[in-house]
Structure 1
Amino acid sequence: MTGWIIAFALAGVTLIALMLIGRIPRSTREITAGALLIGLAGYAWQGNPGLAGSPRSVKADIAFDEKLAEQRRGLAERYGPAGQWLVMSDSFGRRGQTKDAANILIAGLRQTPEDANLWLGLGNALMAHADGALSPSADFAFRRALTIEPEGPAPRYFYGLALASSGQLQAARDLWAPLAASAPKDSKIKAELDANIARIDAMLAGSDPASR
């Protein structure tokens, strides 16, 4: 319980300090609070507040998903501020330093908080840090990207991928179906989406007794 009290107290003190001492603009207070919530969500997901402190070193053994990064570059990245942060984040991810990969993107979001590509990259980085699980903080990042670019192909594609991998098949289908319908005919992405949707439909039908 003490761990939770300390975590919330630190978050509150940090926000107040940023507002009073850092004098952050009113327009950025929401994103600052959101960043603190990401930290608390990550603590809730990964932390063990009831355990005594016991520093130890853990060797990272997480494979960097080059195929996923390549898909992201094809769908989302453009020349601009987001590109450099994503490249730096990927370099940490390749070395298994998933926490640093996520922190790089958080730093980028402090400069450009309305960049959907950075939020998208953060969602992917946080999933890698959680060994592929859709943690609350990763879900927040994907939703933020989707809010900024609701009709963008990248947020819908990658959030759908995250939802599908976490077993939320219907939610993934709801995102992918309109995207597949609007994708260029005979394109690689349309073929992939159609195949994924077909697999989801088969799994949903198999899990529904009324459809047997």
Structure 2
Amino acid sequence: MEWLVITSLAAIAMLVAIFLLRLPRQGWMLFAAVLIFGLSGYGLFGSPGQPSAPKAAGLETLRSGEQLVDARRSLFDDGSPPASHLVLSDGFARQGRFDQAAGLLRNAIRDNPNDAETWLALAIALVEHAEGQVTPPAIVAFSNAQDAFPEHPGAGYFLGMAYLRSGRPEDARRVWGELLERSPEDAPWREDLEFRLAGLDQLIQQMDGMRRMIEAQNAAQQSAAADAE
């Protein structure tokens, strides 16, 4: 499953280069080669197959409502059944009906504004309803989930994953770095988080190198055009 994360990071980097950095079509193959070379090297030396912490098993590349619900629940499972509003909203989320899930969760929060899992479920529902975009209401919900349970990794981890999915790796790196700083040395999720940060750092470094390469190429083309005139 670790390779799914690495592959997702590579795909996001490619999309960022093409659509945000306006990478010329003739540079697509070069950029893809750089990504493959760099990530292959990390795969050889970064131990991508290392086991994740038991409680972090669901913190991977999450797409479906089923996966998202199961991953969140695994972080809050203390042996007792979840609250009824979470059961109902999770049912909507599993079906991909995130708007209805968010509506139920908003009503529940009015009665219990300090419930960290409800805030996190709402944040995730808002991101999914926005088709993976981290909207201001979602950021508020993530922040409230963190405030309600500061020692819990859920808000930071899911927010970082949401930033990655929306093509914002630097924001993901910032959020996960802050989570690592406040995580105890013996935290069961720490090893998994360190591994993901190492891969993300390498990806960002490669993207920065490619950005400089593109800027230099554009400057050279502009200079050549000016000389030709």
What CA distance in whole angstroms lies between the structure 1 residues aligned with 2:140 and 2:65? 21
Q: Residues 124 and 138 of structure 1 are in contact (CA less than 8 Å); yes or no, is this contact kept in structure 2?
A: yes
Q: Which residue of 2 aligns with 1:182?
A: 184
Q: Residues 176 and 197 of structure 1 are in contact (CA less than 8 Å); yes or no, is this contact kept in structure 2?
A: yes
SS at match of 2:140: helix
What CA distance in whole angstroms lies between the structure 2 residues aligned with 1:211 and 1:152? 38
CA RMSD, Structure 1 to Structure 2 (Å) = 2.9
Q: Which residue of 2 aligns with 1:98?
A: 98
Q: Residues 77 and 117 of structure 1 are in contact (CA less than 8 Å); yes or no, is this contact kept in structure 2?
A: no
Distance 1:183 1:103, change over 3 A: farther
What aligned pairs does 1:18-167 form with structure 2 within 5 A after superposition?
64-78=64-78, 83-167=83-167
Q: Which residue of 2 aligns with 1:205?
A: 205
What CA distance in whole angstroms lies between the structure 2 residues aligned with 1:121 and 1:165? 17
What CA distance in whole angstroms lies between the structure 2 residues aligned with 1:183 and 1:166? 30
Q: Which residue of 2 aligns with 1:25?
A: none
Deviation at 1:82, TM superposition (A): 6.2
Distance 1:139 1:179, change over 3 A: closer
Which structure has the bigger radius of gyration? 2
Q: Percent identity?
A: 34
What amino acid is aligned across from residue 174 of structure 2 in structure 1? D
Distance 1:204 1:138, change over 3 A: same
Deviation at 1:77, TM superposition (A): 4.8
What amino acid is aligned across from residue 145 of structure 2 in structure 1? A
Which ranges of structure 1 fall in alignment gaps of 5 or more residues?
1-62
Deviations 1:61-89 (A, max 9, x none): xx743222222112135577963222211
Aligned residues: 148
Deviation at 1:142, TM superposition (A): 0.8
- Answer with 169-178 or 92-101: which moved more: 169-178
What amino acid is aligned across from residue 160 of structure 2 in structure 1? G
What CA distance in whole angstroms lies between the structure 1 residues aligned with 2:148 and 2:113? 10
Report the TM-score, using the length of structure 2 for normalisation: 0.55
What amino acid is aligned across from residue 131 of structure 1 in structure 2? E
Q: Residues 109 and 119 of structure 1 are in contact (CA less than 8 Å); yes or no, is this contact kept in structure 2?
A: yes
SS at match of 1:114: coil
What CA distance in whole angstroms lies between the structure 2 residues aligned with 1:151 and 1:200? 23
Deviation at 1:106, TM superposition (A): 0.6
Distance 1:97 1:67, change over 3 A: closer
What CA distance in whole angstroms lies between the structure 2 residues aligned with 1:69 and 1:191? 23
Higher-RCO chain (CA-CA 8 Å, sequence separation at least 6): 2
Distance 1:74 1:152, change over 3 A: same
Distance 1:135 1:178, change over 3 A: closer
Q: Residues 82 and 108 of structure 1 are in contact (CA less than 8 Å); yes or no, is this contact kept in structure 2?
A: no
- Answer with 68-77 or 118-127: which moved more: 68-77
Report the TM-score, using the length of structure 1 for normalisation: 0.59
Deviations 1:105-151 (A, max 9, x none): 01110110121211110010111111222122212211221233333
Which ranges of structure 2 fall in alignment gaps of 5 or more residues?
1-62, 214-229
What CA distance in whole angstroms lies between the structure 2 residues aligned with 1:77 and 1:99? 24
